[in-house]
Amino acid sequence: MKDTHTILNEIIVAAKECGQVMLQADRNNFGIKDKAGKANFVTAYDCKIQEMLQIKLAQILPEAEFLGEEEDCRINREAEYIFVVDPIDGTTNFIKDYHMSCVSIGLIRNGKRYLGVVHNPYLDETFSAISGEGAYMNGNAIHVSSDDLENGVVLFGSSPYNTELAKASFELAYEYFQKCLDIRRSGSAALDLCSIASGRAELYFELILSPWDFAAGALIVEEAGGIVTTVEGDTLLCLEKSSVLARNK
Ligand code: IPD
Ligand code: CA
Ligand code: CA
Going residue by residue through the chain (249 aa), what tens digit of pLDDT does each one get?
789 999 999 999 999 999 999 999 998 888 777 777 676 778 899 999 999 999 999 999 999 999 999 887 789 999 999 999 999 999 999 999 999 999 999 999 999 999 999 999 999 999 999 999 999 999 999 999 999 999 999 999 999 999 999 999 999 999 999 999 999 999 999 999 999 999 999 999 999 999 999 999 999 999 999 999 999 999 999 999 999 999 998
Q: Amino acid letter at 164?
A: E
Nearest Cα neighbor of 203 from 148, 241, 240 is 148
Which residues are near ligand 3, the ion (C-beta closer than 5 Å)? 69, 86, 88
Q: Taken in order 214, 215, 217, 218, is the CA torsion positive or negative? A: positive
Q: How far is the CA of 97 from the centre of ligand 3 (A)?
A: 15
Q: Could you tell me the residue ranges of all domains in the chain?
A: 4-142, 149-247
Q: Is 160 a pocket residue for ligand 1 (Cβ < 6 Å)? A: yes
- How far is the C-alpha of 67 from the C-alpha of 215, rounded, in Å? 11
Tell me: domain 149-247, CATH 3.40.50.1820, correct? no
Q: Judge whether 226 and 236 are in contact, CB under 8 Å.
A: no
How would CATH label the architecture of 4-142? 2-Layer Sandwich (3.30)
Q: How far apart are the C-alpha atoms of 193 and 246, rounded to whole Å?
A: 7
Distance from residue 152's CA to the centre of ligand 1 (Å)? 23
Amino acid at 139: G
| CA gap 136, 129 in Å, rounded | 6
Ligand 1 within 6 A of CB of 213: yes
The pLDDT value recorded for residue 16 is 98
Structure letter (DSSP) for residue 235: B
Q: How far is CA 208 from the centre of its chain?
A: 13
188 CB near ligand 1 (under 6 Å): yes
- Supply the pLDDT for residue 163: 92
235: number of Cβ within 10 Å:
9
With the most atoms of ligand 1 within 8 angstroms of its CB, the residue from 70, 85, 88, 89 to mutate is 89
To the question of pTM greater than 0.95 for the whole model, the response is: yes
Residue 90 in contact with ligand 1 by CB distance below 6 A = yes
